[in-house]
Amino acid sequence: MVILATNIKNDYTFMENILKSLGIQEINNGCSTGTNYFASGDVIESFSPVDGKLIAKVKVATENDYEKVVQVATEAFKFWRNVPAPKRGEIVRQYGEKLRAKKNDLGKLVSYEMGKSLQEGLGEVQEMIDICDFAVGVSRQLYGLTMHSERESHRMYEQWHPLGIVGIISAFNFPVAVWNWNSALAWICGDVCIWKPSSKVPLCAVACHNIWNEVAKANNLPEGISCLLVSPGSVGEKMCEDNRVPLVSATGSTRVGKIVGTKVANRFGRSILELGGNNAVIITPNADLQACLPGIVFGSVGTAGQRCTTTRRLIIHEDIYEDVKQKLISAYKQLRIGNPLDENNHVGPLIDKNAVKDYLVSIERVIAEGGKILVPGGVLEGKGYESGCYVKPCIAEAKNEFSIVQHETFAPILYIMKYKTLDEAIELQNSVPQGLSSSIMTLNMREAEQFLSTNGSDCGIANVNIGTSGAEIGGAFGGEKETGGGRESGSDSWKAYMRRQTNTINYGTKLTLSQGIKFDF
């Protein structure tokens, strides 16, 4: 069950009220198939990185609970796949409307449990609303092509069918939006979902599922269309190995993605992998620095550097290097670090003290490899920083080939370096194992087009005059190389949640073989 911590009732009445408004009370568990909540595992605790206080305790699901969930989801799929797609879209529309009504409370919970700024928390819920709107439109456009047959009196076309159960494994840094990127599209495609959220942010997941349950109950939907499993890693591994789950969509580190991808591939299942990023911005002498600097700084420090699209590297032309460097140092001095629920602050905490250790180790490593610290890092202490999770955004001069620069550190550390020619800059940008997001800052059309060309960025996302961080719902989101190659959200990403079928109909009086083959007897 979810047990509300007593300190919330004493010290944080506003959070107690928010949790209750989102249906998080002592009757809820971390395992649900809809209106039925149950869990038979251990209890985990959710602490806020904002102040280090205990928010609640959640009883988690076991492998036996997982088995119950899969059975219920399997039965639900038999019903859901036969509901016309536009009617499935209507259910998703209603879910989006519920999110609109609860946006402020859910956004505050995201901010408090995860640690991102309130505006980012609200923005994440807005992403959920946007993908619901997008999915509603797609529910009337699950199109297939019609092809001309080489055979007389034959018609050929393709259609798309639901896959079945979609397993969704989400990370702590976007505790609600990425799940909904997947679930909204899966639902309109006729699939049912089993969600395993990060155990670092279980309450956000419970809240989202409670909102879904309100919609399901109002429409007399069966249990199992959307299921929740707050659980340890073993349950996630079980999902990856389960032939009854044809698609697993996983967001997380490259290390975790390799495990998920291998296990799913071993049973010939499908996977959507959204993994690490090591994103760079190229700044040319033709850049409008005044316009692009805010995007660079936000891309570097937003969510305290805990986005897969965070700007990790800045590749600056040698002619403007010193100018840009000084502007960055000045901008970093103006950053306000503190409670993310205070809208005056720019940067909140890291998710936990393990993340703080990784941050400190990375700074030590860049120094050991020969880097120069321009804006010192460090852990903040004292009033307002009691959780021990607040750190200073750091800037270091470094070389692209440093091993620590090749590695993704999920923290606000920015590496800057020089280049002479655009070809060299693009080579630096591409010379990392990851390939998620990239940007170039320039007003020169030729430079912009070269960056976007076949000889340009090798990332799944390539931007001009905007930062690496942030993505609109309308475009497919994902990356190449060790980022996993998956695509979620917009464009035709819905196809990943369905199976393609080619159909040929003979409406003539004789059977004609293809390729002119004759078989007479």
Q: Token pair for residue 96?
A: 């989006």
Where b means 16+ CB within 10 Å and e means fewer, 152-178 reads: eebeeeeebebbbbbbbbbbbbbbbbb
Report which of 466, 484, 434, 167 is spatially closest to residue 297, judged by C-alpha positions: 466
Burial of residue 196, with CB atoms counted within 10 A of its CB: 0-12 exposed, 13-18 middle, 19 or more buried? buried
Chain centre to alpha carbon of residue 217: 28
Q: Could you give the 3-state DSSP secondary structure of residue 124?
A: helix
Q: Which residues contact 486 (CB under 8 A, 6 or more apart)?
A: 249, 271, 272, 273, 274, 478, 496
Of the candidates 4, 3, 1, 26, the residue with the CA atom closest to the CA atom of residue 13 = 4
Query: Does residue 67 have an active-site annotation?
Result: no
- DSSP class of 190: T
Residue 431: partners with Cβ closer than 8 Å, 6 or more residues away = 400, 401
CA dist 192 → 38, 46, 69, 81, 118 (Å): 19, 27, 11, 9, 31
The answer to whether 230 touches 43, Cβ cutoff 8 Å, is no
Say if CB 132 and CB 94 are below 8 A apart.
no
240 tagged catalytic: no
* Single-letter residue type at 487: R
In this structure, which amino acid lies at residue 37?
A: Y
Other CB atoms within 10 A of residue 113 CB: 28
Rounded distance between C-alpha atoms, residue 29 and residue 61, angstroms: 8
* Catalytic-labelled residue, pool 127, 223, 274, 488: 274
From the candidates 132, 227, 240, 308, give the one annotated as an active-site residue: 308
Catalytic amino acids?
274, 308
